[in-house]
């Protein structure tokens, strides 16, 4: 049999794991990414923690908790795979040389992290090395702009090298979408700049179904003080210092205890949805502060405190005072619908990682995303290298992708991006209403119709990303409008 050609779109944890697995199964694999492989990804930016049934936690317990936190709307067949296969998936990577430490119900890759900020950067670095030594080829600095289809199956992808504007058409027997999430639709997000929802857009335009797009996970505490980076602080921060409203009320820790969680660290795993809404509602009345002035010099050395700051503690030398904190977009629970073999509705097209939906339901357990990308990355890679064929079923007729306009009279894409980010934050944030969602739909539509001006490679990249951003924001708004009432991370008022 001829060697199978597999294209993997995305070089984060999901894409790299899939690529390694497909190459090891004998396929000719090419990975395409918008930046240098592994870098600029959520996996690199991740804290590096996996939640999984290991060292005394059973798959049954992990399954039950994942469904409970996801409010029961998760796809149980995908959760079962995660619960039953994540330990063996991580151990497979460990056998290939990836440094992973296992503890009760958890694992981490932080020993290889280059700094406190990028807990997953060492992890992806190791995956890139393993992929290269398995003959995986890389095409970097390149944006996949459409999926190429015949009537029955995937036939390849079209792409643009954004530094030169050169277009590429690449043929493949199988394609794996591992493009991560779309946090950049929001003004406040801890996702890297390239997380623009391209995979959701590619799938949607190819006629595929997206599920659970209304479930955007906001992280409860993010730095919001001028001069500090827009970045998350671990919810466990509340176990070390006071988080208060203007009146000095320690509402956050009180609420967590009332809900039955022992501390912020536990709420971080299981209750990001309620904690973010609590914070957002409190902020409607006035600012919320983290009291860094409380920390004695001795306590400043505490490892737990330093971890929960998430940024190197030296950043805070000039901030030993009350600093503003606010929720921040963190993760997309919804995405491309897949089955347990990571197959989509198009024969030969697979998807894995944050680009997919179904595992998390309405809210994700902290740490489950890292387990997800490895577990489903391996499955996608194995199947793509095999000879799976299935019936192609489009959700709607595939759309032809509009070319990127190149008009001197257009608007700079950075301006439109900011407008979209403000729209999504103000109208589709942690607290939504029917009115805000409809308003968002109109604004997103208007932004998507605007002509773009492209005068530099950076503007070319930003312009190419506008399609992913507007399609993703529209998908979130449409799903949010359809789901009346509140569930998990989707909180609606006045319904």
**What residues make contact with ligand FAD under the rule CB under 6 A?**
9-15, 32-35, 40-43, 45-49, 143-144, 178-180, 190-191, 194-195, 198, 232, 330-331, 353-355, 367-370, 373
Query: Which residue number, 223 or 316, has a Cβ lying nearer to ligand FAD?
Result: 223
Query: Which residue number, 10 or 348, has a Cβ lying nearer to ligand FAD?
Result: 10
Q: How far is the CB of 69 from ligand FAD (least distance, A)?
A: 13
- Residue 318 burial (10 A CB sphere; 0-12, 13-18, 19+): exposed
CA distance 489 to 333: 9
Instruction: Decide: 471 and 315 in contact? Cβ < 8 Å.
Output: no
Order of strands across the sheet that contains 210-211: 210-211, 335-337, 356-357
Query: Which residue number, 120 or 410, has a Cβ lying nearer to ligand FAD?
Result: 120
From the list 42, 46, 48, the residue with the least C-alpha distance to 103 is: 48
Q: How far is the CB of 298 from ligand FAD (least distance, A)?
A: 28
CA distance 87 to 194: 30
CA distance 133 to 23: 10
Query: Which residue number, 368 or 441, has a Cβ lying nearer to ligand FAD?
Result: 368
Instruction: Decide: 488 and 68 in contact? Cβ < 8 Å.
Output: no
CA distance 239 to 308: 9
Q: How far is the CB of 442 from ligand FAD (least distance, A)?
A: 26
Q: How far is the CB of 434 from ligand FAD (least distance, A)?
A: 29
Query: Which residue number, 63 or 370, has a Cβ lying nearer to ligand FAD?
Result: 370
| Strands in 150-254 per DSSP E | 154-161, 166-171, 174-177, 210-211, 216-223, 243-244
The SS3 of residue 187 is coil
- Residue 226 burial (10 A CB sphere; 0-12, 13-18, 19+): exposed
Query: Which residue number, 47 or 437, has a Cβ lying nearer to ligand FAD?
Result: 47
The SS3 of residue 481 is helix
Gyration radius from the chain CA atoms: 22
Within 10 angstroms of residue 79's Cβ, the number of other Cβ atoms is 23
Query: Which residue number, 84 or 434, has a Cβ lying nearer to ligand FAD?
Result: 84
Across-strand partners of 232?
222
Q: How far is the CB of 472 from ligand FAD (least distance, A)?
A: 11
Q: How far is the CB of 408 from ligand FAD (least distance, A)?
A: 25
Query: Which residue number, 27 or 351, has a Cβ lying nearer to ligand FAD?
Result: 351
Q: How far is the CB of 99 from ligand FAD (least distance, A)?
A: 15
Across-strand partners of 102?
107
Instruction: Decide: 404 and 453 in contact? Cβ < 8 Å.
Output: no
Q: How far is the CB of 358 from ligand FAD (least distance, A)?
A: 14
State how far the alpha carbon of 315 is from the alpha carbons of 121, 235, 324, 391, in Å: 20, 19, 15, 54
Q: How far is the CB of 108 from ligand FAD (least distance, A)?
A: 8
Query: Which residue number, 45 or 270, has a Cβ lying nearer to ligand FAD?
Result: 45
What residue is closest to ligand FAD based on CB?
12
Half-sphere exposure for 98 (CA within 13 Å, toward CB): 30
Query: Which residue number, 3 or 169, has a Cβ lying nearer to ligand FAD?
Result: 169
Q: How far is the CB of 197 from ligand FAD (least distance, A)?
A: 8
């Amino acid at each position: 049999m001829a060697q199978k050609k597999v294209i993997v779109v995305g070089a984060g944890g999901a894409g790299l794991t899939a690529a390694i697995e497909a190459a090891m199964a004998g396929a000719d694999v090419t990975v395409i990414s918008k930046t240098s492989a592994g870098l600029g990804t959520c996996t690199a930016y991740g804290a590096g923690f996996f939640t999984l049934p290991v060292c005394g936690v059973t798959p049954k317990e992990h399954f039950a908790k994942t469904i409970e936190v996801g409010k029961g709307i998760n796809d149980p067949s995908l959760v079962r795979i995660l619960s039953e296969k994540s330990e063996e998936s991580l151990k497979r990577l460990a056998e290939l040389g990836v440094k992973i430490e296992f503890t009760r119900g958890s694992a981490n890759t932080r020993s290889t992290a280059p700094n406190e900020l990028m807990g997953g950067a060492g992890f992806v670095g190791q995956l890139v090395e393993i992929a290269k030594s398995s003959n995986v080829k890389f095409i970097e600095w390149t944006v996949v702009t459409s999926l190429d289809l015949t009537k029955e199956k995937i036939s390849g992808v079209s792409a643009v090298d954004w530094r030169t504007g050169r277009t590429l058409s690449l043929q493949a027997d199988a394609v794996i979408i591992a493009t991560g999430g779309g946090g950049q639709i929001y003004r406040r997000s801890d996702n890297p700049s390239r997380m623009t929802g391209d995979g959701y857009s590619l799938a949607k335009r190819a006629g595929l179904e997206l599920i659970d797009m209304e479930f955007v996970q906001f992280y409860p505490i993010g730095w919001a003080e001028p001069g500090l980076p827009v970045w998350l602080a671990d919810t466990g921060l509340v176990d070390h210092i006071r988080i208060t409203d203007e009146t000095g009320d320690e509402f956050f820790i009180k609420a967590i205890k009332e809900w039955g969680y022992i501390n912020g660290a536990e709420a971080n795993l299981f209750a990001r949805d309620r904690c973010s809404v609590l914070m957002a509602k409190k902020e409607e009345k006035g600012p919320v502060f983290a009291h860094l002035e409380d920390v004695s010099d001795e306590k400043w050395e505490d490892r737990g405190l330093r971890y929960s700051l998430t940024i190197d503690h030296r950043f805070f030398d000039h901030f030993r005072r009350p600093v503003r904190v606010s929720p921040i977009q963190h993760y997309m629970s919804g995405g491309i619908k897949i089955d347990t073999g990571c197959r989509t509705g198009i024969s030969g097209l697979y998807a894995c990682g944050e680009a997919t939906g179904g595992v998390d339901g309405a809210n994700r357990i902290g740490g489950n995303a890292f387990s997800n990308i490895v577990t489903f990355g391996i499955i996608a890679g194995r199947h793509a290298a095999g000879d799976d064929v299935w019936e192609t079923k489009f959700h709607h007729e595939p759309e032809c992708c509009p070319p990127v306009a190149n008009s001197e009279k257009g608007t700079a894409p950075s301006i439109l991006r900011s407008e979209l980010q403000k729209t999504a934050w103000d109208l589709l944030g942690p607290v939504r209403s029917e009115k805000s969602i409809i308003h968002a739909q109109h604004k997103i539509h208007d932004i998507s119709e605007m002509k773009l001006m492209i005068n530099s490679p950076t503007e070319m990249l930003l312009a190419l990303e506008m399609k992913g951003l507007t399609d993703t924001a529209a998908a979130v708004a449409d799903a949010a409008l359809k789901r009346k009432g509140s569930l998990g991370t989707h909180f609606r008022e006045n319904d």
